[in-house]
Amino acid sequence: MLHNPEEYPEPERFNPDRFIKDGELNPDVRDPTTISFGFGRRICPGRWLSSGSLFITIASVLHTLDIHPILGPDGEEYDPFSHRIDTINLTIEKVPCTVTTRSEAAKKLIQEGSS
């Protein structure tokens, strides 16, 4: 259902801009969370925990780390989506990048959180 090209043009392409219009969330595009966790009697009971955990993880990474793409062999920024191979199985691709802490305070936060 989340790959229906009538609902989501070019569904295989990573394009977060499809949900934005004039700098705001586009109300004409269906929110994928309305079906990604199921619906009716079989809706996922952990959907709120999952969404909250994902939010705090992403917020923590963005708060403490700088993530930058590396340069590819042609001298341009490496685009991990330029060579994607579509398969039936979802796989995690290695995306070459540099990850550094934003500051000494951020480094301390990470170290305290991991102990």
How does pLDDT run across 65-89, given as a tens digit for each residue? 999 888 877 888 877 666 655 556 6
What one-letter code names the amino acid at 35?
I
Cβ contact 78:71 at 8 Å = yes
Residue range of the domain that includes 74? 65-115
Q: Can you give the pTM of this predicted structure?
A: 0.62
Beta-carbon contacts of 9 under 8 Å, excluding residues fewer than 6 positions away, are 18
| Tally of structural domains, the chain | 1
Identify the segments of the chain with pLDDT beneath 70: 80-93, 115
Identify whether 6 is part of a domain: no
Identify whether 108 is part of a domain: yes
φ, ψ for residue 33, nearest 5 deg: -70, -15
Task: Report pLDDT for 114.
Answer: 73
State yes or no: 44 annotated in a binding site: yes
Task: Give the distance from CA 51 to its chain's centroid.
Answer: 12
Cβ contact 93:84 at 8 Å = yes
Neighbour count for residue 32 (Cβ, 10 Å) = 13
